Amino acid sequence: MVSRRVARLSQAVREVVSTAILFHLRDPRIQNVTVLRVEVAGDVRTAKVYVSVLGTEKEQALCLHGLNASRGFIQSRIADRIETRYTPVLKFVLEDAVSSGAEEADRILKELEQERLELEGESGVVASLDAENSDEGEVADSTVDELTQDIEAKDE
């Protein structure tokens, strides 16, 4: 179980890292980064920073490399903000769960769109048949009358 102290520290580290990435880093490799969560070890010496990066695998790898290169700067920002005996050493981890979830959502949306188009296509066929039958309304009514008479005859 995570103690409240470690949970508060994790939240503070996440805020500082997010702010540093968003406002203070000037590395062109670091773009489209979202800090998802931070796990601080119980001894407060290490912290895993889980990030999500939008883009191709190459862009993700470059961004992760840029984050690791700027780790010292971010750790100094943490040391300025949080007064603890040890400043946690950061380890950036790329979390693929978000991107796979987005891909899954995209796949589902495409399937729904395909089903909608199929249903519209079928309803278009039904609507065109209804339009044809409206011209021949008398024929359709007589056919219905014949069918009801046949059913009544079978019931007797």
Q: Domains in the chain, start-ordered, CATH in brackets?
A: 4-95 (3.30.300.20), 105-155 (no CATH)
Average pLDDT, integer, range 89-100? 81
Residue 97: pLDDT band (50, 70, 90) is low
pTM metric for this prediction: 0.62
Is it the case that residue 136 has pLDDT exceeding 80?
no
* Residue 81 CB-density burial (10 A; 0-12 exposed, 13-18 middle, 19+ buried): middle
Question: How high is the pLDDT of residue 88?
Answer: 96
Distances (CA, A) of 140 to 123, 125, 131, 136, 149: 20, 18, 12, 6, 14
Average pLDDT, integer, range 54-77? 94
Bridge-based pairing of strands 33-40 and 89-94 is: unpaired
